Amino acid sequence: MLIVRYFKTKMTDYKNFRIQTRIEAVVRFLQLSICFLPVFWLSACATMDTANAPDELVRTLDDAIIAIPAKYFKWNVPSGMSTSGRMKDVVKDLTKIAGEKKIPLVIYLHGCAGFDDYARQDFNFLLSNGYAVLAPLSFARKYKPQSCDPQNNEGGLHRGVLDFRLAEAGYAHRAANSLPWVDKRNIFMMGFSEGGITVAQYRHGGLAGRIILGWTCCNNVWPEYNGISGPQDEPILAVVASNDPWFSNSWTSGDCGSWMSSKRNAESVVVNVNFHHVQSLPEVKEKILKFLEVNRCP
């Protein structure tokens, strides 16, 4: 009996020890959580502060490409020519724009590679059809983490890049509304790839329409990238390749059509090709031009 009682006592002590140990472990976890939680919050706030930092946004606009069809200037130039350059370099030329006729403008948001050859092709396409272009440069920021690896079709390297790009889009939109020669009724927003994600998630209204290129509107891992924001009645055109190599995984595959059921004037186009820059296709260019013309105020 003594042995039994001794065993029971030891078992009780052991159970109490285990309970106490678990309690201490929980307390230590909570203490660590309380200590580190402000660090996480500060980190998130720091990212947001950086995204919206006024000096950073000024840089993205100073180094923005501004391109205007030459027909809108006061001097005579050969047909088909245009004036373009960095905003900080051509700002004086903007005073020479003829004021009689306001100019329709496309705010262009580049992909994760910046102003590459594809972006320049898009600028020329818009210019040749009578639209001015304002394209903020995300890479003008002093703090710009890498968000993709174009050589390997790999994205998602910097989740917070969406906050950066949305801040840049809003800043460019406000700047466009302050330019006296811009037709405020005809400001469109067009974005490719990472820029297309930004156009899809841009929450503010005041656009004549938005064009989402090279994006599926789907990201089942990062929910803030999912879907389409903005006013319900704002015109939208989305175009993506059926076999885009950037969206070969299950969590980003699809197209923007699944998010358009509540949109009154939206169209999703899926073209049967296996490359990313869908707007280089003649039929897609025709689609974009028709969208701009149909939704342009006279």
Which CATH superfamily includes the segment(s) 54-294?
A: Alpha/Beta hydrolase fold, catalytic domain (3.40.50.1820)
Where residue 6 falls among pLDDT bands split at 50, 70, 90?
very low
Measured distance CA(254)–CA(198) in Å, rounded: 17
Where residue 280 falls among pLDDT bands split at 50, 70, 90?
very high
The pLDDT, as a whole number, for residue 33 is: 39
pTM of the predicted model as reported, rounded to 2 decimal places: 0.83
Q: State the DSSP string of 93-134.
A: GGGGB-SSS-EEEEEEE-BTTBS-HHHHHHHHHHHHTT-EEE
pLDDT at 101 over 60: yes
Question: What is the enclosing helix (H) or strand (E) of 183?
Answer: strand 182-192
Q: Check if the beta carbon of residue 190 is closer than 8 Å to that of residue 111.
A: no
- Smallest Cα–Cα separation from 140: which of 80, 218, 211, 65? 65
Per-residue pLDDT reduced to its tens digit, 130-169 = 999 999 999 999 999 999 998 888 888 999 999 999 999 9
Measured distance CA(213)–CA(279) in Å, rounded: 7
Instruction: Please state, rounded to an integer, the average pLDDT across all residues of the chain.
Output: 85
